[in-house]
Structure 1
Amino acid sequence: MRRRGLALLPLLLPALAVAEIVVFIAVVHAIGILWAVALGLAATVTGLALLRREGMKGWRRFQAAAVEGRPPGREVSNSLVGLFGSLLLAVPGFVSSVAGLILLLPPGRQLARHQMERYAERRVGGAAASDLFGARHVKVHPGDPIVVIDEEPRPAQRIPAAAIEGEVVEGEVIR
């Protein structure tokens, strides 16, 4: 999968350049060349200003999570999405600016952050992802068996869900 994405890169970059040119020409025809250039410059300057702000905000959130002893993964992934959105906004072109704005607005940022966390969880596994992003919360229905595995190598224990009703069970979902 990774190699296929890299193999498509030489095709995607020229396609993006053509799309940027076509969209720029359409914007010039719609609002005029001076306004189109001014809009492009404003987006680039805004993106550069947001790059610094998002970087500093992400660093502060990472430090606060580390001091509080929380897993810093959510703050880091949120900051990375913000930085990538700011970078896309800073790159000249309307297509990249719109993509950057989508990543900077809360719904787009949240969706991209969740996708990034899911990708990281698939790549590193559930246990490592729990260390990065915090424990996953699982809803337990009465009557469902729960398998509890301790750090020490012992056989798994089965506890009926009714025995722990009202408590939150944190751990890795195997199936």
Structure 2
Amino acid sequence: MNRRHLLLCALATLTPRTGWAVPTPYRLGTGGATITYTFMLNGAPVKGTVPVNQADLTVDPNNLDKSTALVSADVRRARTGLIFATEALKSPSVLDAQNHPTARFRSTRVKLGAGGRLSDGATLEGDLTLRGVTRRIRFDAGLFRARGSAAEDFSTLTVMLKGRIDRREFGAIGYANLVDDTVGIDIVAEITAAG
């Protein structure tokens, strides 16, 4: 996928005659969705994944800043390449997966780029709930049309979100002597138009 080939630019120029005159809901597509997280463990980067079990997006071409996103993930299925790190991650002092099995992100604001265009860079702000604690976070956001699709074909899209959190803000303070506080989050979700 060519990330420069953004759907965002196309969406910014849509008019009602394209058939997109109303907000359009999307659901997870067959390609699914994954959250990849990155953290430093004893000075070395470690990556892991959490499967997304729900990703709903509504795109409003006439008011792109009114578009919305809701993403949830089952933290009990979080994985890293290291068994001990995976178990520590799900422990009561970090994600506390047994008592808080679901992480959720609900968007509250889409900020368009220069000139009101998503193609000039956009951010997605919202509330992340982790371990039962909700904090406001911000993602850099991208939205892409399927490779090879027609210019007016928005039936399948890929959403990409990139951000960082400080795990201490969510009470995930375990293993502070081994794991840095900053965690990178990347979400990639394939979504398809509902109906």
More helix by share: 1
TM-score range, shorter chain: under 0.3
Bigger proportion of residues as strand: 2
Q: Which structure has the larger Rg?
A: 1
